[in-house]
Chain A
Amino acid sequence: MSSAVNTFQDELARRGLSIEQAHAMLQTMMEIRAFEEMAEELFARGLVHGTMHLSIGQEASAVGLSAPLRPDDYLLNTHRGHGHCLAWGSDPKLMMAEFMGKETGYCRGRGGSMHIADVESNNLGANGIVAGGIPISVGVGLSIKLRKTDQVVTSIFGDGAANEGAFHESLNMASIWNLPVIYYCENNQYAMSMSVERAFNVEKISQRAAAYGIPGKTVDGNDLLAVRDVVAEAVDRARAGHGPTLIEALTYRYKGHSKSDRQLYRTRDEVKEWQSRDPILRFAAFLEIDSETRKAKQAEARQVIEDALTFATESPEPDVSTILEGVYA
């Protein structure tokens, strides 16, 4: 993470980050994990109606990505998107309420885990369709260009989405028009059960950038600052009007694809091997936080999520009389 000679203070300072900001990023990662663990627990207890896609193990990817972005930038998220929402600054209470299908949730309980959106904060939503958000990024990019602002849009998708036709059409269009899009591929090694080794004949997904004449970068997605750095570079490029970048963040989901995954396609050793590079423990170690302090922070994160659950539990269900609302404007 840091070179042997530099202290973590140097590493942060070099990036213009304060220790407080670094601690806040660690805290966000912990809240993401606590949210996901709670989601899993609620599901196991039969308290959640639908499915979910947990991002445990991918927290640095989410927090590192959002770190260089501004509140007026846009987010197009994936189905495995709880972490990205929290990193974007979404309210865990409204997220948890949405997850539980409550009227107070971000989408009034109509969207659920796969569709958490908050258009007011430019979070244009998680997407249940693999690569579904990628063509939308072209439109958001065009809109930014036509309105002549210096916003950027991050289009997040998984390794599976890079094999959809929409990926090709969209990256080409974004490239020829120099649109301010950060194409962020979270390569967590599996598209459900299909491994990247079986699904790609290129070594790195980022190599595909060459086909569109744009920069392609592969980064250790479990290294928060490395993710932040590569995204910051892409953001600078996009804001300056030089067009999109394709970033591939190598990471891993510790849990199965969704609620019904028996994980027959991978080994326990493989999971353990990735857990040894856990993004939260790595960043805590980098910040020289002792285990006692770390545990206290984790308990704090857990409390934030417990409070969110209380809010969600006490919130009302949508009224059936409102069932037709929201189809048409």
Chain B
Amino acid sequence: MRELTYKDALNEALFQVMKADERVFCIGEDIGVYGGAFGVTAGLIEEFGEERVVDTPISEAGIAGACVGSAVTGMRPVGEIQFMDFVTISMEQLVLQAAKIRFMFGGKATVPMVLRMPGGSGTGAAAQHSESLENWFVHVPGLKVVMPSSPYDAKGLLLAAIEDDNPVIFIEHKLLYKTKGHVPEEMYTVPLSDTKVVREGRDITVVATSIMVNRALEAAEQLAAEGIEVEIIDPRTLNPLDEEPIIRSVIKTGRALIVHEAVKTGGYGGELVSRIMESEAFDYLDAPIRRLAGLDIPIPYNRTLEYHTVPQIESIVSEVKRIVRGEV
């Protein structure tokens, strides 16, 4: 089976879709000759030229606006925000324009744009280059929010996001760029709003997002050695959420742990817990649903402090054990 890194899977998706669809173009800071800060757009400018691989000044509101305006007039822009943190500068265009144009105009316009951005900590980039702000966007009707955790999903979800007629916030993870996995050569899509059961297990449901899916998988291997079978679920699209597989899983296992990197307070975990509690799965719960999330602090620079700010494999292992053993 052919393996690619997460980064190269994204890169291949962009190459293929730009070849197949004239309406698609890329826009962002240093995405041309530089190839993007993390190399995702490498080689595109050589293939497609600077008209379709648009290097911008440092203007995040302008990048978002360029996506909105071109999308509403028939193009399929793929914007890049160099670090997810910088999307704070683009918020007006995303929240007040992209998300609302269709509804505000009576359902008579479409805004088929994708805005890619790497989130997450673990690179020593400190508080302004390491955030996980996905829930800001989850809270805005009209936006779709996608977080791929594997190279296969990265390619398939990016192609699905570009094909979609809605504005999609596409959140990559810096530490995942170098991870490898099976990626078919041909173009394929992974449907949006299609929650995936990544690993089957009978004892507890772990719903994880982005890199936490990978950490949960490693934790599950260790736990299996101790006889605890973990079912791992990756929503992949956070909004609109396909909640049915999660509820079905919790009915089966009777226990649930939510794991995400973003800070716990106001995070996506709260939404997932509520969805489970409001569903028929409530009657099947054998333990309180728990959340393992980032501490409610900015990401620190120091390596050790940074490591202890967000969930790691061993913290997932110990939290699962506590829940399964009835210690919480």
Contacts and interface: CB of A to CB of B under 8 A. Distances in A.
Interface of A: 74, 76, 105-111, 115, 117-120, 124-125, 127-129, 132, 134-147, 153, 165-166, 169-170, 172-173, 176-177, 325-329
A113 to B, nearest CB: 12
Contacts of A111: 104-106
B56 A135 contact: no
Q: Which interface residue of B54, B72, B166 has the most chain A CB atoms within 10 A?
A: B72
B199 interface: no
Given A135-B66, A136-B69, A137-B65, A115 B109 contact: no
Interface of B: 25, 27, 51-52, 54, 56-57, 59-62, 64-75, 77, 92-93, 96-97, 101-110, 112, 141-142, 144, 164-166, 240
A169 B61 contact: yes
B102 A326 contact: yes
A230 to B, nearest CB: 24
A235 to B, nearest CB: 18
Contact of A108 (B25, B106, B165): B106
Nearest to B164: A329
B141 A327 contact: yes
B61 A135 contact: yes
Contacts of B57: 169, 172-173, 176
A326 B101 CA distance: 9
B105 A139 contact: no
Contacts of B51: 145-146
Contacts of B240: 328
Contacts of A108: 106-108
A138 B59 CA distance: 12
Given A125-B101, A140-B69, A143-B75, 17 more contacts: A105-B106, A108-B106, A110-B105, A135-B64, A136-B68, A136-B69, A136-B93, A137-B65, A139-B65, A140-B73, A143-B73, A146-B75, A170-B62, A170-B65, A173-B59, A173-B62, A327-B103
A90 to B, nearest CB: 13
Nearest to B95: A129
B25 A146 contact: yes
B80 to A, nearest CB: 15
B93 A146 contact: no
20 contacts: A107-B108, A119-B105, A129-B92, A132-B92, A134-B65, A135-B69, A136-B65, A138-B65, A138-B66, A139-B68, A142-B69, A142-B70, A147-B75, A169-B61, A172-B57, A173-B57, A326-B106, A329-B112, A329-B164, A329-B165
Contacts of A124: 69, 72-73, 109
A146 B69 contact: no
A119 B65 contact: no
Given A132-B96, A143-B74, A146-B25, A137 B69 contact: yes
Given A109-B106, A119-B108, A139 B56 contact: no
A137 B103 CA distance: 20
Contacts of B75: 139, 142-143, 146-147
Contacts of A127: 97
Contact of B102 (A109, A118, A165, A328): A328
A329 B102 CA distance: 8
B142 A117 contact: no
Contacts of A326: 102-103, 105-107
Contact of B97 (A107, A129, A325): A129
A5 to B, nearest CB: 45
Contacts of A172: 57, 59, 62
Contacts of B59: 169-170, 172-173
A256 to B, nearest CB: 24
Contacts of B166: 328-329
B34 to A, nearest CB: 17
Q: Chain B CB within 10 Å — which of A128, A141, A169 has the most?
A: A169
A238 to B, nearest CB: 15
A329 B106 contact: no
A236 to B, nearest CB: 22
Contact of B109 (A119, A137, A139, A165): A119
